[in-house]
Amino acid sequence: MMRMMIPANHTIHGGGEGGLAWLIGFLKGMGKPAAAAAVVLLAVILSFLQKLGLEGEMLYAMFRAFLQLSVIGFVLQFIFSHHNVGWILLAYLFMVIVAGYTAGQRARQIPRGKYVAGASILTGTSITMLLLVLLSVFPFTPRYIIPVAGMMVGNSMTVTGVTMKRLRDDVQGQMNLVETALALGATPRQATHQQVKRSLVIALSPVVDNAKTVGLISLPGAMTGMIMGGASPLEAIQLQIVVMNMLIGASTISSIMSTYLCWPAFFTKAYQLDTKVFSQ
C-alpha cells in the first residue's frame, strides 16, 4: 500500500490545537525560504547588469509565487484537518477549472476551447485517479488525493493545450487535403487522422521522454521531496514509478479526449470545415 511511503513523523495538526501555534510555526519556518530569496536577488542584479529588463517580472513572479503558495498552504492545512470528501472534490474541481482555462488560453482560436480543455482534463485525471483508488494504490484521503491530482492536472493541462493548438494549426495548414478527403466521403476523423496523430505525438513525446530519462538526468520533485523528508531512496523510487505511470495515463487520455471534443468546433453540421475557425 502506498501509504507506507510517507515518513511517519509528518503529521497534520488541526487549527484548534495549540491556538495559533501552527501559525507561529509557519512564520518561523519562513526563515529559510526568505534566505533563499537571495538567489532571486542575484538573478535580478544580473538581469539589470545585462539590461534584460526582467527585473520587475522576476520580483513580481516571486511575490506571486509566495502569495499563492502561502494561501494554498493554509487551504490544504484546513482540508487535511477535516477529512471531508466534499472538500477533496471541491479542491480537485478548482484545479481542473484553472487548468482548463489555462490550456484553453493556449488554443484560444478554438471556440469554447476552455470548456474543451477542462472537460478533457477532467476526463483523463478522474479516470486515472479512480483506477488508482480502486487498485488500492492510494487511499481516498486529502493527504494523497490532492497532491496526486495536482500533479496529474498540471501535466494534463500542458499536454492538452499543446494538442489542441497543434491540431488546429495543422488542420489550418492542410485544409485542402482535409477538404478533399471530406469530398471523397471520409468522416471528420478519417479526414484529420494524420493531423490528429501528429498533434498527439508532439504533445505526448515530452512526457514519454521524461519517463525514459527519469532518475538519469534529474531526480523528480516527488522523489526528491520524499528523500528530503526522511524516506528511504527505495521508498521514494516506488512512489516515483507510480507517479510516472499515472502522468502518462492521465496525459494520454486527456489529449485524446481533446481531439474528439475539438471536432464540433472544426466542422459544420454538414461535415465541412468551418472556415471561421481557421481564418483567425
For the stretch 134-157, pLDDT in tens is 999 888 888 888 888 999 999 999
Q: Using CA atoms, how far apart are residues 238 and 108, in angstroms rounded to an integer? A: 39
Q: Decide if 114 contacts 100 (C-beta within 8 A).
A: yes
pTM above 0.85, yes or no: no
Radius of gyration of the chain (CA): 22
Chain-centre distance of CA 259, in angstroms? 18
Tell whether the torsion through CA atoms of 172, 177, 178 and 179 is positive or negative: positive
Residue 111, φ and ψ in degrees, nearest 5? -55, 135
Q: Using CA atoms, how far apart are residues 231 and 48, in angstroms rounded to an integer? A: 41
In the chain, the amino acid numbered 80 is F
Please tell me whether residue 267 adopts helix, strand or coil conformation. Answer: strand
In this structure, what C-alpha cell is assigned to residue 160?
Answer: 492538452
Residues forming beta bridges with residue 273, ordered by sequence position:
267
DSSP one-letter code for 128: H
Least confident of 3-7, 50-54, 73-77, 207-211: 3-7
- Ranked by mean pLDDT, which of 4-13, 181-190, 208-217 comes out on top? 181-190
DSSP one-letter code for 216: T
Residues 82-103 have pLDDT tens digits of 778 888 899 999 999 999 999 9
